Structure 1
Amino acid sequence: MKITKITVQKKRKDRYNIFLDRGNGEEYAFSVDEGVLIEWQLKKGMFLTQEQEEEIKASDFKKDALNKGLQYLAHGMKTEYQIKDYLFQKDFPEDAIHDAVEKIRSFGYINDKEFADAFVRTKMNTSDKGPAVIKEELKNKGVHLSIADLALQQYSEDKQLAQAIRIIEKKGKRKKNESASLVKKRLTEGLLRKGYSLSIIDTALKEADLSHNEEDEWLALCSQGEKARRKLNKKYEGSTFRMKLKENLYRKGFSLSLIEQYIKNTEEEK
């Protein structure tokens, strides 16, 4: 096979179209990166075997994979797994992906430990996520768990506690007629979803300023109690009514002693 013509692509000045004569006249054969063109010293009149053509194409796949990987890195730090997955989605063959990743690593552009350290610092400073959620995100990005654990050491318990307290004081405002117990339950569930441990949450709830007082609790109980009474009066009476009322208010997070006082007061008013 003879190279009959080499032209620069119109949209990609770093890529060249190779035309071959395989015995039936000139035809477009394939395109290559400028680096591959130079590496193989391709020029008009040069003869290629079928094996050489396949090797040139393989070289071009590797070069293109490398370029695509570097372009992907230009948008920010990435893990080795992310680069491999990105190139896989671009339909590069496994050997081209492996070669590209090895070269990028040799350039010093891939370092999962540095990535994990930077990722944890960013999440600590710009989000309210706890360590468990951050660890899961690192896992999803292909970071080995041992590397993630090392990176998370910078997220000390003191820092976790301070963050949890800030979240509690921001989200801890009592909703209309909400018991203090339900407020804590709501906050606990929210912090667990964000990745904080129960021990950190318990300490944060004790140290945070929730500004909940006995008067607020009593007023909330009275409001919830009146709603429950109107609903239950239609179905129950006597001791069954009192039992159902207790159950209703207890599920809403009020203490039994406060519920007993409320029931006693309402019965005395009759």
Structure 2
Amino acid sequence: MTKIEAQKRRKHRFNIYLNQSYAFPVSEATLVKFALAKGQVLSAERVAEIQVAEAAAQAYQTAVNYLSHQLRSEKEIRQRLQRDDWPEGVIDQTIQRLKELRLVDDLVYGQSYTRTAMRLQKKGPGQIQRKLKEKGLSESTIQQALEEYDDQTAQDNIEELAAKRLKQQMRKYAQRDSEQRTVRYLMQKGFDSDAAKQAVQRASQDLVDDDLEDDKLDQQGQKYWRKYRRLDPKERYFKVKQQLYRRGFEAGAIKQWLDQVMEKEEG
């Protein structure tokens, strides 16, 4: 070895010269690991050993950088390293090292993904299962990860999605069509068909109940509005509000109804 030269643009990288000619680059870690120094005699076998170690070190650093942003599955890391054309032996060695350091664990990845998907994105178990399969997790690992998705959270998610989606659809379509569209939407989100149909039925009934409640409020409100027509506007407003509240209507609904009536009269 005739020369060891620090690279100008890349810190902790060195160029190795053999017999006055550039041979290969190494990282500082490889330099230290093999105790490389000027004047050493390196056999072809030793050079090959150094280059394999250097390839493994670079592949490992690439994987660590890739993991620095978020958790990754083993398949994702393998695909990332394959993009750089690392030999399969180097990739296998890198994956094994990451596993030993617990930087890669498909079960931990699957559990984390499940918790995030069910809480923030309201995804159903089926959609999560499909996604984890795409990420390369085994079937047994996927089933373990899905244990994070408890029944109560699944019920809360599907009911919230059903109510919101059905209300949106019924602004544009007939009730039956809206219900069918909402069921399909829930199934696409990863919920099974029976659960989707039941959730839509409950949401539909709630919407009907809300409409009936609005009709009752309007009926009673009109009655009291006529009854107190001789009072001044402020006192009339207060009296009607008081009577409707005693009838058990919600304060927010009462205020909305009274504001609409007052706006019409002033207009």
TM-score, normalization: structure 2? 0.73
Deviates more, 1:53-62 or 1:155-164: 155-164
Q: Which residue of 1 aligns with 2:245?
A: none
The letter for the 1-side match of 2:182 is L
Matching of residue 188 in structure 1 with residue 186 in structure 2: no
Counterpart of 2:70 in 1: which secondary structure?
coil
Residue 162 (structure 2) pairs with residue 137 (structure 1): no
Q: Does 1:46 align with 2:44?
A: no
- Given that residues 116 and 148 in structure 1 are in contact (C-alpha distance below 8 angstroms), is that contact kept between their aligned partners in structure 2? yes
The residue type equivalent to 2:177 in the other structure is L
Within the candidate set 47, 72, 77, 1:78 is matched to 72
Match of 2:207 in 1: 211
Q: Distance in 2 between matches of 1:38 and 1:187?
A: 63
For residue 110 of structure 1, what is the aligned residue in structure 2?
104
1:8 aligns with 2:3: no
Gaps of 5+ in 1: 217-270
SS at match of 1:143: coil
Question: Per chain length, whose mean CA-contact separation is higher, i.e. which structure has more relative contact order (CA < 8 Å, sep 6+)?
Answer: 1
SS at match of 1:208: helix
**Distance in 2 (alpha carbons) for counterparts of 1:55 and 1:178:** 70
Q: Is 1:120 aligned to residue 114 of structure 2?
A: yes
Assess if the C-alpha contact under 8 Å between 2:5 and 2:14 holds in 1: yes
Output the CA distance in 2 between the equivalents of 1:161 and 1:106.
38
Deviations 1:216-250 (A, max 9, x none): 9xxxxxxxxxxxxxxxxxxxxxxxxxxxxxxxxxx
Report the equivalent of 1:19: 17
AA of the residue aligned to 2:195: I
RMSD, aligned α-carbons: 1.9
1:165 matched to which residue of 2? 159
Structure 1 residue 153 corresponds to structure 2 residue 141: no
Percent identity between matched residues is 28
Following superposition, the deviation at residue 175 of structure 1 comes to 4.0
What secondary structure sits across from 1:67 in the alignment? helix
Q: C-alpha deviations, 1:32-82, integer Å up to 9, x for none?
A: 111111121111111112222122111100111111111111111112222
Q: Which residue of 1 aligns with 2:51?
A: 57
Alpha-carbon contact 1:161-1:203 (below 8 Å) kept? no
Listed as ranges, the gaps of 5+ residues in structure 2 are 213-267
Q: How many residues align?
A: 209
For the structure 1 residues 12 and 177, does the alpha-carbon distance in structure 2 shift closer, same or farther, using more than 3 Å as the test?
A: closer
